[in-house]
Amino acid sequence: MAKPSGVAVHHGWSREGEAALELLRDHLGQYVFPVHRLDRPTSGVLLFALDSEGARVLHELFEEGGVEKRYLALVRGVAPEAGTIDHPIPRREDGPRVPATTEFRRLWRGEHVSLVEARPKTGRLHQVRRHMKHISHPLIGDANYGKGAVNRDYRERIGLERLALHAAELSFTDPWSGEPLRITAPVPSDLRGPLERLGVPAEILT
DSSP state of 42: -
**How far is the C-alpha of 169 from the C-alpha of 70, rounded, in Å?**
5
Report the pLDDT value the prediction gives residue 10, as an integer from 0 to 100: 77
Distance, in Å, from the CA atom of 35 to the CA atom of 20, rounded to the nearest integer, reads: 12
Helix (H) or strand (E) holding 62: helix 52-63
How would you classify residue 57: left for phi > 0, otherwise alpha for psi between -120 and 50, otherwise beta? alpha
Report which DSSP code applies to 6: T
The CATH number of domain 2-205, selected from 2.40.40.20, 3.90.180.10, 3.30.420.40, 3.30.2350.10: 3.30.2350.10
Burial of 148 per CB tally in 10 Å (0-12, 13-18, 19+)? exposed
Of 99, 36, 43, 87, give the one whose Cα is nearest residue 66.
36
| Ordered DSSP codes for 145-197 | TS-HHHHHHHHHHH---S-SEEEEEEEEE-TTT--EEEEE-PPPHHHHHHHHH
Give the pLDDT confidence score for residue 16 in this predicted structure: 62
Catalytic residues: 39
Contacts of 165 (CB under 8 A, 6+ apart): 39, 41, 42, 43, 71, 72, 73, 74, 128, 129, 139, 141, 142
CA 88 to chain centre: 18
Q: Which residues pair with 89 in a beta bridge?
A: 98
Instruction: Measure the CA–CA gap between 130 and 49, rounded to whole angstroms.
Output: 28
Q: What is the pLDDT along the chain (206 residues), one digit of tens a residue?
A: 899 999 999 766 445 668 999 999 999 999 999 999 899 999 999 999 999 999 999 999 999 999 999 999 999 999 999 999 999 998 777 788 999 999 999 999 999 999 999 999 998 999 999 999 999 999 999 999 999 999 999 999 999 999 999 999 999 999 999 999 999 999 999 999 999 999 999 999 98
Strands 101-109 and 113-120: antiparallel
